[in-house]
Amino acid sequence: MPRHRVYAVGEDGKELLGRITTPGMLSEAQKMLASADPRGVRNVTSPEGQRYLLFLPSRRHLGELEGPDSRALLAGSGIPGLDPRAFRRQDFHRPPPADAPPASRSAAGGLAFGPPGPGGTPEAGPGPGPGRGDPGGPPARVRPLTPYIPIGAAVLASLLFAALLAWYFARPIRALRQAFDAAASGDLAPRFGGKPRAGGDELTTLGRDFDRMTARLRALLDGQKNLLHDVSHELRSPLARLQAAIGLAHQQPDKAAASMERIERESVRMDKLVGELLTLSRLEAGAFDSPQQEFSLGELLEDILQDARFEAATNGREVAFSGGADAQLTGQPELLARAIENVVRNAIKHSPAGGRVDVEIVRDARYMRIRVMDHGPGIAQEDLGKIFQPFYRGSSTEKDVDGHGLGLAIAQQVVQQHGGRIAAANRAGGGLCVELALPVAEA
């Protein structure tokens, strides 16, 4: 027994789902529309503005379509369209009766009229439509969201990963920027730690390099502060003695000659100190631009030792020389002579009265080694690395020993500028040994 089906016929007389309609079905629908029978006919307008006549054909007409006389019925004059009078404007805008059953969307996408189903909505009769095997029906308006879920999840995961990656790379960059800002304001404290982290990247290495740079800057600034302190200290004593001598000359004119002698001596000492400071500063800045030349180290050392022997003899000491090696060196002989002279004079000053200073020269494959050895008290082991610093005076140095502590600092700068090395070590029998290693000029 056929079930009720909802038919929707448009203004062009065609059924919405392409199903066959008979003249009897359309005539019956027109009669029900004219009689305002709310039980089986409706005028509706789609969201696109298309008007349709929805009706429920009787079972008799449905049986005609499925019975043995259906071919004869359809072979006549064709399927007539709907009477245009059924689409009058007042019919489409006529409100449905109050006792009309509610309309709902059927599974085929049309409007169904019928008894309510289990869910409380009118149940549509069976019939072909989209999803029911009818290829001619309208496309479904509601598409499933299932294909978009993995796409959205992938986009969200990509955004999250990009945010984490940006945070990972931006954090050390922000730290470097803060460190540069702090260094620009004068704060040179280490900020990235001295120990490398496991799996460190280029930014971590850059942070450690920044710490090394700031450490070097701190050392230079501390050195400048110490140098200024030492210079002011060294200048304070001769200036105080100068003022005392001038005051004594004013108070006791009969002692003016002795006061002038003191003033002259202190002036010479201050001039020597300022000269040594200028020399050290120029050496550290590389401001000595005298031309390089080849010279004989033996001849240079002989001239230095002649002056050293004369100075040692006036103080009750002697200078002994051993080794006849000689070599041609390339450099600035005036500076190198001053460096060797500073080392020898330092040994003479720290030797006891009647003591001896030994100077020897030894040659090996690459260097000419000059060793200057005294028989003084030596240097404390923990102070050996400090004796080449400006104004350093060891704890074992006698207070009456003249000097400012700049001679060995100047010697170190000169030797290093000539590509050599200078080192100091205590002797087993007492005293200090200072070795200057100078590279031999290639033949």
Distance CA 210, CA 192 (A): 8
Alpha carbon separation from 111 to 54, 79, 98, 106 (Å, rounded): 8, 23, 18, 6
Write down which residue in 266, 285, 304 finishes a domain: 285
Residue 330 gets the label, from left (phi > 0), alpha (psi -120 to 50) or beta, of: beta
**Helices (H), ranges, 104-201:** 148-184
Distance CA 145, CA 152 (A): 11
Same domain, 17 and 45: yes
Distance CA 371, CA 369 (A): 6
Distance CA 419, CA 63 (A): 118
Same domain, 369 and 281: no
Same domain, 342 and 247: no
Q: Is residue 31 part of a domain?
A: yes
User: What are all long-range contacts of 170-176, with beta carbons under 8 Å and residues at least 24 apart?
Assistant: 172/203, 172/204, 172/207, 173/203, 175/207, 176/203, 176/206, 176/207, 176/210
Q: Write down the catalytic residue from 93, 229, 233, 250.
A: 233
Each of the 443 residues of the chain gets a pLDDT tens digit; together they read 455 578 888 888 788 888 888 888 888 888 888 887 667 788 888 888 888 888 888 877 777 776 665 555 544 434 444 444 444 443 444 444 455 444 443 333 443 334 444 444 444 444 444 444 444 444 445 556 677 888 889 999 999 999 998 888 888 788 888 888 888 888 888 777 654 454 457 777 888 888 888 888 888 888 778 777 777 767 787 788 888 888 888 888 888 888 888 888 888 888 888 887 888 777 777 666 667 888 888 888 888 999 899 888 888 899 999 877 777 888 888 889 989 999 999 899 888 888 899 999 998 888 889 999 998 888 888 888 888 888 777 665 555 556 667 888 889 989 998 889 999 999 888 889 999 999 886 65
Catalytic site includes residue 233: yes
CATH number at residue 353: 3.30.565.10
Domain encompassing residue 222: 203-285
Number of domains in the chain: 3
Angle at 47 between CA 43 and CA 48, to 5 degrees: 100
Q: Which residue has the tokens 């930014």?
A: 203
Write down which residue in 223, 257, 285 finishes a domain: 285
Same domain, 431 and 335: yes
Q: Is residue 150 part of a domain?
A: no
Tokens of 295: 């010279």
Same domain, 321 and 271: no
Q: Is residue 71 part of a domain?
A: no
